[in-house]
Amino acid sequence: MSAVARKEQEDARREPPPLVRKAAEAAALLETLRTELTSLQGREAAGRAALTKAVLAVAAERALVRRALRRSAAARGERWRGGRWRALVWRLQGLLVRLGLPGRTLLVAASGAWRSSGRSLYDLRHLAAYLRRGADPAVAPASLFDQAWYLAGNPDVAASGAAPLAHYLASGQHEGRAPHPLFDAAFYSERYGAELAASRLGPLAHYVRIGAAAWRDPHPLFDTAYYAAQGAEPAPGEDLAAHYVREGWKTGLSPHPLFDPAWYVAQAPAAGGAAPLLHYLAEGAAAGLSPHPLFDPAWYQTAAPEAGEGLALLRHYLAVGAAQGLSPSPFFDPQHYAAQRGEALAPGADPLVDYLLDGAWTVAEPAPGFSTAAYLAAHPELVVEGLTPLAHWAAACVRSPRM
């Protein structure tokens, strides 16, 4: 055998055949990819865990702030002490109305519905000046009283020329007339009847003087505690409902867990020029618009045909439907959520509201097949935006039905 042939055989023994070499290279590449994938999965899992932990921390801190605000508000509410003279004046309201301006001034002052500045003589002069203006829709009295709205809905008051707040206190409230879109006297009286009786005040006066400070809700769709916990800062003597109408809506504050302002305005762009909830109460509910991604009026009407239509649907859900376990939308199964939430769901609590307030960050699977951790990992911006994963997903599905 020649020297050349011997060298070729030795080289062949030292070097693997081409297929073997390629197989070895592929195995090495596969091992590298496996290592990288394992590392990536570990980082992703760690990222999800860290994100979930951060969200839970934020939710826990928010709950602590909410509880602290409640305690503070309750302490402020306890400072009110109604005087017997107010009750006496209230019983003599018919006589006071007949006494003209001095009597009506005393009636409104005694009602408690006029926001006090802490300066009695100034308040009386201011009040008397208001009463002299009569049925002027441009006047805004120092109370949770929408004068223009009251006059528009009660043409007889406009024709009489009487100051609308005085009319409401003397007769309107007894006739079931509403003083403001965000004050539901029937709802307020039913929920806080014992407090009203003890205070000797009418519903509006009780809210202005006691209820607002103690975080009582003036309307089924205005959750005072929820609104305040978002950082609302009303002016001195201003109740939170009035703050929402004046300022809060402009900064995107929500009046209720089941009212998402951005979601609603996307359906009704014209609502963006004023408080969105007022638009919903006046027009949007009747038009079938949805107040929240997880509340579908048409879906709920099918589940509860006895609820009626328009605003009555959401009212029915909040008052009756949630307690009955009715589903508010195709994206939320209350029975499944309640089972996942377990004992953490307070007896009688609305499962959907519970999810939106706290449960979104503690329940791993709020809907069948929906993983909170996986969705948060794919949408970390929700932590900053404050949106719950299920609501974000529902909104995306509604906007893009093929998703």
Domain boundaries, the chain: 84-220
Q: What is the CA radius of gyration of the chain?
A: 31
pLDDT (average), residues 300-313: 94
Residue 238: pLDDT band by 50, 70, 90 thresholds? confident
Residue 74 above 50 pLDDT? no
Percent of the chain with pLDDT over 70: 70
Give the count of beta carbons closer than 10 Å to the beta carbon of residue 101.
Answer: 13
Identity of the residue numbered 65:
V
Rounded CA-CA distance 231/387 in Å is 17
Question: Of residues 230 and 85, which shows the higher confidence score?
Answer: 230
Write the DSSP assignment of 136-203 as a string of letters.
-TT---SSS--HHHHHHH-HHHHHHT--HHHHIIIIITTTT--SBTTB-HHHHHHHTHHHHHHHT--H
Rounded CA-CA distance 211/66 in Å is 17
Residue 63: pLDDT band by 50, 70, 90 thresholds? low
Question: Of residues 271 and 21, which shows the higher confidence score?
Answer: 271
How confident is the model at residue 199, as a pLDDT? Answer: 81
How confident is the model at residue 187, as a pLDDT? Answer: 95
How confident is the model at residue 77, as a pLDDT? Answer: 42
Rounded CA-CA distance 293/390 in Å is 9
pLDDT (average), residues 141-169: 90
Q: How far does Cα 363 stand from its chain's mean position?
A: 20
- Interacting residues of 43 by C-beta distance below 8 A, sequence separation 6+: none
Rounded CA-CA distance 337/190 in Å is 30
Question: Of residues 92 and 359, which shows the higher confidence score?
Answer: 359
**Percent of the chain as helix, strand, coil, to the nearest 5:** 65, 5, 30
Best CA proximity match to 292, nearest among 397, 218, 395: 395
How confident is the model at residue 81, as a pLDDT? Answer: 44
Rounded CA-CA distance 232/215 in Å is 13
Asked if 345 and 351 touch (Cβ cutoff 8 Å), the reply is: yes
The backbone torsions φ and ψ at residue 130, rounded to the nearest 5 degrees and listed phi first, read -60, -45
Question: Of residues 233 and 295, which shows the higher confidence score?
Answer: 295
Mean pLDDT of the chain: 80
pLDDT (average), residues 307-322: 95
Asked if 294 and 394 touch (Cβ cutoff 8 Å), the reply is: yes
Asked if 113 and 204 touch (Cβ cutoff 8 Å), the reply is: yes
DSSP annotation of 15: S
Residue 87 above 70 pLDDT? no
Residue 132 above 90 pLDDT? no
Secondary structure (3-state) at 169: helix
Residue 256's DSSP bridge partners are: 259
How confident is the model at residue 205, as a pLDDT? Answer: 85
- At 116-127, the pLDDT tens digits run 666 665 577 888
Percent of the chain with pLDDT over 90: 41
Q: How many residues does the chain have?
A: 403
pLDDT (average), residues 184-190: 94
Rounded CA-CA distance 30/37 in Å is 10
Rounded CA-CA distance 266/284 in Å is 12
Rounded CA-CA distance 58/382 in Å is 12
Residue 52 above 80 pLDDT? no
pLDDT (average), residues 330-356: 94
Asked if 131 and 166 touch (Cβ cutoff 8 Å), the reply is: yes
